[in-house]
Amino acid sequence: MTGIPKTQYAQIFEKTGGPIQYREIPVQAPGPDEILVNVKYSGVCHTDLHAWKGDWPLDTKLPLVGGHEGAGVVVAKGDQVTNFEIGDYAGVKWLNGSCLSCEFCINGYEPNCPHALLSGYTVDGSFQQYAIAKAIHAAPIPKGTDLAKIAPILCAGITVYKALKESDAKPGQWVAITGAGGGLGTLAIQYAKAMGLRVLGIDTGDVKSKMTQSLGAEVFIDFATTPDIVAEVIKVTNGGPHAVINVAVAEKPFEMSCKYVRPRGTVVVVGLPAHAYVKSEVFSTVVKSITIKGSYVGNRADTDEAIDFFSRGLVESPIRIVGLSELPKVFELMEKGEIAGRYVLDTSK
């Protein structure tokens, strides 16, 4: 590993919800099937905030370096690695690795692998200058790509693209997106447009209203000021959206979406608010014959396809770049719901 420093800057926490420390830690060497990525930029996903807060019924490793939207350059690789060369661009995504041999991996459902390794959760992630990823799952990024701009595609982009495919919505049909002004939402609008769908965005505030409409939402509904959201959604979509992509970090929108979704429509559950349930009244679930389904990131094919939409200029996350040292401030803004689009960390600062 010539030319690679022994230590590097990282954002690390020792305790769930404890202080997040910006300090130097050792650079690890990749194992035989791994690559070492010099992360240039990393998006900050709300999942990183959930991980730090301990919101979910799944423990993180501790101490933990979070982050799973890392875009960078391969600087070292194990001797079994054949799909990356030194100098290639690579993405460190949520699904860091999987067994590749279980029933789920074999069928392309790699995120559901019981042995999945999760970047920034069960293994250290991209809030550091040098991160390790299993080569087989790392995202190949075309040379010449703007690494700051592609970072959010590595989780937010893949996830919403997959969720839209899972929704089975057809070109010309309506899709509602809850949490439309956030990191996942702003990309969901653009993938949906590119797939020929009509988009209704639900979120709050003038900034998110303007942003979502400039990205292609035909209608914006403000959840904080609209008295009867369900009635309004049904009215503007002339009978309810054919699909709903729920990326809001709140429980209420899930329940509402089961009420306003069009008969035979699909409610896709993507957002992961703490301790939340999806509640749908049985009678109307049956009589409207709706589908409620969970969607969890994407597999390697979804990754390549989601990146291809980006490379062809069809989607671009509205990003704001700040230094890696600013992560705690980004979490504060995210907690308050004040981030429109995505914050991306520059690991050199």
The residues that touch ligand 8ID, with contacts defined as CB under 6 A, are 45-47, 50, 155, 159, 178-179, 181-185, 202-204, 223, 247-250, 252-253, 270-273, 295-297, 334, 337, 339
Determine the number of helices (DSSP H) and then strands (DSSP E) in the chain: 11, 18
Distance (Å, rounded) from C-alpha 138 to C-alpha 12?
22
Instruction: Specify the DSSP element, H or E, that contains 306.
Output: helix 300-311
Neighbours of 319 (CB within 10 A): 20
Pick the closer one to Zn ion by CB: 120 or 265. Answer: 120
Q: How far is the CB of 42 from ligand 8ID (least distance, A)?
A: 13
Q: How far is the CB of 45 from Zn ion (least distance, A)?
A: 3
Q: Which residue has the tokens 């690890």?
A: 28
Pick the closer one to Zn ion by CB: 219 or 333. Answer: 333
Distance (Å, rounded) from C-alpha 21 to C-alpha 24?
9
Q: How far is the CB of 118 from ligand 8ID (least distance, A)?
A: 11
Q: How far is the CB of 147 from ligand 8ID (least distance, A)?
A: 19
Neighbours of 329 (CB within 10 A): 12
176 phi/psi in degrees, rounded to 5? -95, 140
Q: Rounded to whole angstroms, what are the CA distances from 290 to 163, 171, 261, 331, 340?
A: 16, 19, 8, 36, 31
Pick the closer one to ligand 8ID by CB: 151 or 270. Answer: 270
Residue 334 contact among Zn ion, ligand 8ID, none, beta carbon within 5 to 8 Å by kind = ligand 8ID
Pick the closer one to Zn ion by CB: 134 or 262. Answer: 134
CA pseudo-torsion sign 143, 144, 145, 147: positive
Q: Which residue is nearest to ligand 8ID (CB)?
A: 182
Q: How far is the CB of 270 from ligand 8ID (least distance, A)?
A: 4
Q: How far is the CB of 231 from ligand 8ID (least distance, A)?
A: 15
Q: How far is the CB of 323 from ligand 8ID (least distance, A)?
A: 19
> And the tokens for 160?
């919403």
Chain positions contacting Zn ion, by CB under 5 A: 45, 47, 155
Pick the closer one to ligand 8ID by CB: 92 or 334. Answer: 334
Pick the closer one to ligand 8ID by CB: 96 or 159. Answer: 159
Pick the closer one to ligand 8ID by CB: 50 or 193. Answer: 50
> And the tokens for 269?
């559950």
Residue 181 contact among ligand 8ID, Zn ion, none, beta carbon within 5 to 8 Å by kind = ligand 8ID
Pick the closer one to Zn ion by CB: 45 or 327. Answer: 45
How far from chain centre, in Å, is Cα 92? 12
Q: How far is the CB of 180 from ligand 8ID (least distance, A)?
A: 7
Q: Rounded to whole angstroms, what are the CA distances from 324 to 41, 51, 150?
A: 9, 17, 17
Q: Which residue is nearest to Zn ion (CB)?
A: 45
Residues in contact with 324: Cβ distance below 8 Å, sequence separation at least 6, in sequence order: 9, 11, 22, 42, 127, 129, 345, 346, 347, 348, 349
Residue 296 contact among ligand 8ID, Zn ion, none, beta carbon within 5 to 8 Å by kind = ligand 8ID
